[in-house]
Chains A and B, each alone.
Chain A
């Protein structure tokens, strides 16, 4: 009979990823389609049985055993077919005894999902494909969920995933062969993929918000595995994890009750998740070992400045400016230039910030839209040049990519107009 036992959040997703990784390790990357099939079937069997009869004592072990047996059955079937079709010898590696020996028992499962992620981040696979493929295989998203989480069409999600799959098959690298050298050489690619995965979920206010939070949580889950499992990745990975935790601490505070965007300066800091921030501090401390200074160290330090200020007025903009200058050296990008200009506008003067903003090249401004337009509008507004501010906000509205952004900018314009009237 049914009982009150429940599963942890995302249990099926995480077990899907774990099972795919474990079985692929034993059966080889060429059997990935078969592996994905049997794992899906094992999950289906689980919901059929568990729904009406209750969840077993060790649901993960149950799934593992079921998937393993399904895999053995499927491979036997294939072998029999082959034997019937030709008199050729069956590949020795898939003979039953060997198969039984290579398929790990549940207790032996370790860091396979993370290893699988390393496999996905092969240098010859484009990062966007690696990310979509990892979401499908390591994180247990369906193709539709990958598409809505990454804000792309189902067709392009499918394309990205199959590109990664083909490439992996072509390369023929096996999970079990991934040695320390390969792991060390891919750490930076893995960190970048996790950083981008997190940003996908964090940066946009478009689409299904719970799915987008899931992206961030997946990035955090894998980053946690990364710092725990692969010691040589320590310093920058710890900084990356700290950075993600500090940003996700602000998740709830940045969305108003009616779904509107709440700017950093208007956020209720008591609403930030302080236990995440405290955890981030621990990882920050760990990231300080060694003499490596990665972009993640600097970005985490910037996020920390925001976290530690009691209010927006108490933010140490001088410190933030210094850090953006370092970031501009080690990881130059138009977005860093823009953020530096904003920091300077608070740390020194609005005019200095304006100067830096106008120094950004026309080509880069295009790439920064609508953020550049918003930033310059805010500075004009603070300088009392309301008409200029409104003109730029109007440009920004025209360039905004979603309803929430337009709503936010629209509110800035009407506020500015009201303030001018009152003055």
Chain B
């Protein structure tokens, strides 16, 4: 078994605001995801606020996540999978993927 981190990359430009009904449908999709993969999801994770600081190599501090980037990391979850293929399958069923967000899937090195 290996641990994978799913990094949710949202478009930097927000999509049109969803209606309350669409929000509820989105929430239900998370519920379905947890139900489908149960113990495979080690940590539901969290969302990240759109604010941020970037500490440059020379010690300079800039406001916000990388502003040049087209996508910003909007959240993460941690899942348990045999290999990348399985982790990708879990990510595919995740609500972020279903609403058209990109997900970066990275395996933990396991040093910890």
**What is A's interface to B at a CB cutoff of 8 Å?**
1-2, 4, 6-7, 10-13, 15-16, 40, 43-44, 46-55, 140-142, 144-145
Contacts and interface: CB of A to CB of B under 8 A. Distances in A.
Interface string B58-79: 0000000000000000010100
B112 interface: no
Nearest to A53: B44
Nearest to B25: A12
Contacts of A144: 19
Contact of B75 (A1, A48, A54): A48
A11 B27 CA distance: 11
B45 interface: yes
Interface of B: 17-24, 26-31, 34-35, 41, 44-47, 75, 77, 95
Nearest to A59: B27
B26 A51 contact: yes
B112 to A, nearest CB: 21
A3 to B, nearest CB: 9
Q: Which applies to chain B's interface (DSSP): helix, strand, loop or mixed?
A: helix
A50 B28 CA distance: 10
Contacts of A49: 47
Contacts of A141: 19, 21
A12 B24 contact: yes
A419 B91 CA distance: 59
Given A2-B34, A7-B24, A11-B24, A140 B47 contact: no
6 contacts: A10-B21, A50-B27, A51-B44, A52-B45, A141-B19, A144-B19
Contacts of A52: 30, 44-47, 75, 77
Given A47-B27, A51-B27, A12 B44 contact: no
Name which of A2, A6, A11, A141 has the most chain B CB atoms within 10 A of its CB: A2
Nearest to B8: A52
A385 to B, nearest CB: 49
A145 B19 contact: yes
Contacts of B41: 2
Contacts of B22: 142
Contacts of B28: 6
Nearest to B35: A4
Given A48-B75, A52-B75, A2 B31 contact: yes
A31 B30 CA distance: 34
Contact of A7 (B19, B27, B77): B27
Contacts of B21: 10, 12-13, 140-142, 145
A54 B21 CA distance: 18
A263 B19 CA distance: 35
A16 B47 CA distance: 22
Question: What 3 A-B pairs are tightest by C-beta distance, nearest first?
Answer: A142-B19, A51-B30, A12-B20
A140 B19 contact: yes
B15 to A, nearest CB: 11
Contacts of A11: 24
Given A2-B44, A52-B30, A12 B23 contact: yes
Contacts of A54: 44
Contacts of B19: 140-142, 144-145
B26 to A, nearest CB: 6
A40 B23 CA distance: 10
B17 A40 contact: yes
A208 to B, nearest CB: 12
